Structure formats: C-alpha cells, structure tokens
Structure 1
Amino acid sequence: MVADTSLIAAAVKARSHAYAPYSRFLVGAAVKDEHGQVHAGCNVENAAYPEGTCAEAGAIAAMIMGGGKRITEAAVVGAGDALVTPCGGCRQKLREFGGNDLVIHVCDERGLIKRSFTLGELLPSSFGPDNLA
C-alpha cells in the first residue's frame, strides 16, 4: 500500500503540538476514516500518571467527532532509533474501528516511514466488535 502523504503530514504536525513536559517523548498520530477524511491527535501527559492520553486515542476521538466510524489507514510519528508503535491499549482502540488489514505506518519525526504493519500483525487473534455480534 502506498501511504497517504496527507495522513503522515497530519501526524507530523500533530506531534509538534504534543504536551509531554515529563517524558519529553512527543508522539503524533493520524487516522483516515471511511470518507477519506484525516483526523490527528497528539499525546497529552498529566502530572498524575497515568492519566495522560496517547496520540492514537486523540486521533480516534477526533474521527468520532468528525463523523467517522471506520479507520482505513493510520500513521504514528515519534523520534528515536526504536520503532514507535501503538501501545497495547491503542492497538485495541484501533481494533475497535479497524480490521486485521488496517495498515499502520510507523514513521520518524520527519514523517519518513520506518515500517508499515497491519493491525493483525500488531494485535494477532484480537477481540473486537465482531466477537460480540
């Protein structure tokens, strides 16, 4: 899959707005919904750990506010040599709105893709809304 450059650009821009005074670990994320609209979020820390929120959660909340219900593509942007993949909780949040084939691009702080995964690779044998049908 060729990555949507506007999706990655939105995640890079969101990262620049992250509030991380404690860890200094800035993360941006963006999701594309079923209508092709891009929604972004950044991590927001809180002095009362672990009451902060992840960038992916912010992007998903923005998608819901914008009327989207399904994620078709996602990007996560962070700095450092290690891959900044979604945490376990965010993988489950992404699963709520995307299937195993959802592509998640893991990018560096400039927006260069370090690796792309499917949600199925990051969260194998997952539990989702279809399990409750």
Structure 2
Amino acid sequence: MNNKELIKKALDAKKRAYVPYSHFHVGAALITGDDKVYTGCNIEIASYSPTLCAERTAIFKAISEGSTEIKTIAVVGDSNPTFPCGVCRQVIREFGKNAKIIIANSEDDYKEYTIDDLLPHSFGPEDLDNAKKD
C-alpha cells in the first residue's frame, strides 16, 4: 500500500470520529509489520479523561488482533497539520520505533517523520532493561 492509499484510509476513518464536544476530527491508518492495515478515529467522552485518540485506537486495534509492530502510520485531522499528542507519540514509540509517520493534510499534501523527529530522547523498553543492570 502506498502513502496516498494509506492517507485515504485515514481520511475515511476521520469521518467516523465521535467528537460531540470538541468537534475536532482525527483519523489514523497504519500498516503493521505483517502488512495488515488498521484504522482508527478519535472518540470523545463527556468527562474527557477516557477520550481515545485516533492513533491509539488504530494501534490498540492492531495489538488486539496480534500485530505488534507498526511500519507506517498516517494521521489526518482538522488542523493543518495535525500531529500526534504526547501520549500517542509514546505509544507509537513502543510499537513503531522505526516507523514512518505520515502527517497529512490530504493525499497529495503530506510530510514524513520518524519517532526520533517527533519524540527525541524517548523512553522505551531498552531503558527498563538498562535499569535492571544497575
């Protein structure tokens, strides 16, 4: 699947966002290490804390189906551009250390990033392994 096709899936997912409070729609689509595609949209709850971002929705769907590696993730939203929040960046880091992150306004207007671009000096599983050695 090429970048434009993945962005189209993210744009389609964005249409399903449940955002009665903020009215801010976000969609995400990802390709896993086993070449499966998962999508997600943001889902708001009145008390906000249980709200789930589009990126985490897609990632957790993939994880729950047994795909634990993200190769590429595309994110689209109502602002141009819409970047993942800090929590989503950390989740992407966990499952996509080497993932390509596409931030798109449209199928033809996008930029590619790495997690090191978006979350430099990140904390990951290897840091826990290093702590055990002390």
- Shared fold per TM-score greater than 0.5: yes
1:102 alignment partner in structure 2: 99
Q: Does 1:22 align with 2:21?
A: yes
C-alpha separation in 2, matches of 1:88 and 1:65: 22
Contact (CA 8 Å) 1:10, 1:38: kept in 2 or not? no
C-alpha separation in 2, matches of 1:127 and 1:115: 24
2:6 alignment partner in structure 1: 7
C-alpha separation in 2, matches of 1:31 and 1:130: 24
TM-score w.r.t. the length of structure 1 is 0.89
1:92 alignment partner in structure 2: 90
Q: Runs (4+) of structure 1 moved beyond 6 Å? A: none
1:70 alignment partner in structure 2: 69
Letter in 2 for 1:14: A
C-alpha separation in 2, matches of 1:127 and 1:92: 8
Q: Does 1:129 align with 2:109?
A: no
Structure 2 residues without counterparts, runs of 5 or longer: 130-134
Question: How far did residue 68 of structure 1 move?
Answer: 0.5
- Identity within the alignment, %: 41
C-alpha separation in 2, matches of 1:123 and 1:68: 23
Contact (CA 8 Å) 2:101, 2:113: kept in 1 or not? yes
Structure 1 residues without counterparts, runs of 5 or longer: none
Question: How far did residue 132 of structure 1 move?
Answer: 2.1
CA RMSD across the alignment: 1.6
Contact (CA 8 Å) 1:77, 1:111: kept in 2 or not? no
How many equivalent residue pairs?
129
* Higher gyration radius (CA): 2
